[in-house]
Amino acid sequence: MSFVRTLDPETFTPEPGMKRQVLAHTDQLMLVRHYFDKDWVGARHSHPHHQLVYVVSGSIRVDVDGKIFDAHAGDSFVVDGNVEHQASALEASEVLDVFTPVREDYRDLVK
């Protein structure tokens, strides 16, 4: 079992304008919180993990395999594994991501 208290997770800054917290996870599933500064633009990328995204607050612009849409607080969507995608923040935003299987590259960051 993995249990992470809200005040416990370490915060990482993998790139300017983004903060990341790796939350509860198992070998097959991982919850990650991201905070984006207004006007942050993420790198276009893909990974083998399926990604479920929930926008807690703010709004982001998303490009998934050439399909561009805006997601606002309360919206959710799925990015399938190995699909190229990119996000940017239209305003300061908080986003929860669920990955399956676990992101080993993120898990290696936590103690």
Domain assignment present for 6 = no
Neighbours of 100 (CB within 10 A): 14
Q: How many domains does the chain fold into?
A: 1
pLDDT of residue 80: 98
- Domain assignment present for residue 2? The answer is no
- List, for residues 37-94, the tens digit of each pLDDT value: 999 999 999 999 999 999 999 999 999 999 999 999 999 999 999 999 999 999 999 9
The boundaries of the domain holding residue 47 are: 11-107
Say yes or no to pLDDT of 111 above 70.
no
What is the four-CA torsion angle of 61, 42, 106, 92, rounded to 10 degrees?
-60
pLDDT at 9 (0 to 100): 83
Alpha carbons 45 and 23: distance in angstroms, whole number:
22
CA gap 9, 32 in Å, rounded: 10
User: Which CATH number covers residue 27?
Assistant: 2.60.120.10
